[in-house]
Amino acid sequence: NAGVMQNPRHLVRRRGQEARLRCSPMKGHSHVYWYRQLPEEGLKFMVYLQKENIIDESGMPKERFSAEFPKEGPSILRIQQVVRGDSAAYFCASSKIEGGAEAFFGQGTRLTVV
Amino acid sequence: GNSVTQMEGPVTLSEEAFLTINCTYTATGYPSLFWYVQYPGEGLQLLLKATKADDKGSNKGFEATYRKETTSFHLEKGSVQVSDSAVYFCALSRNNAGNMLTFGGGTRLMVKP
């Protein structure tokens, strides 16, 4: 059973470009969470999604950031018009159910904006 | 709101030394508490957890006890190894599922032979 798969592992974008980060949850998991880790800091919750629904986006910046988890395919975190401050590691986690289940983390996507 | 504070690193120890990494929290209600470990270039792995007061989580020689009276969840290990070198994160859940986690800033542990 493959773990949470994130791709790409490393992504370089120029300022103003778009970044798309993908997360395939573990098999059987329908809950996905995105976190951002700035250099030398802890992880900050961004958004919680279930299939075709955003459940909690209280940690998402109000502009340029969006997330989706379609019925088919991976969850996507999209950052439009990237700026240098978006450089960070973005981690995805998935869980089987909402209550009483451990969340498993992917290896992260390290975004560098140049 | 919820928050987690843990001691700043890096913590440098010799092999077989005793380890303590302090963690305190602020939360409404009764959160679940976790320790995660992050090895270089990797994602986070759950190390141990405790879901109610006085519970003790343990794994791979690491232990932490959920202390409601002091709002603490300190991580301890009696004898560290070089392979324990990593960054350790204390976290609490915003619901009992252990999901939507609030993390501390992380503590880097370096163990020297």
pLDDT of amino acid B29: 79
Range of weakest confidence among A1-15, B43-57, B85-99 = B85-99
**Chain B residue whose CA is closest to A103:** B99
Q: Which two tokens stand for residue B22?
A: 């302090």
The residues, any chain, with a CB within 8 Å of residue B9's CB and separated by 6 or more, are: B87, B106, B107, B108, B109
**Chain B residue whose CA is closest to A108:** B43
CB pairs under 8 A between A and B: 64
B68-86 pLDDT per residue, tens: 999 999 999 999 999 999 9
A8-32 pLDDT per residue, tens: 999 999 999 999 999 999 998 889 9
Q: Is the pLDDT of residue B109 over 80?
A: yes
How would you label A71-87 residue by residue, b for 16+ Cβ within 10 Å and e otherwise?
Answer: eeebbbbebeebeeebb
Comparing CB atoms, the residue among A44, A91, A99 nearest residue B43 is A91
Comparing CB atoms, the residue among B44, B89, B98 nearest residue A101 is B98
pLDDT of amino acid A97: 72
User: Shortest Cα distance from B81 to chain A (angstroms)?
Assistant: 23
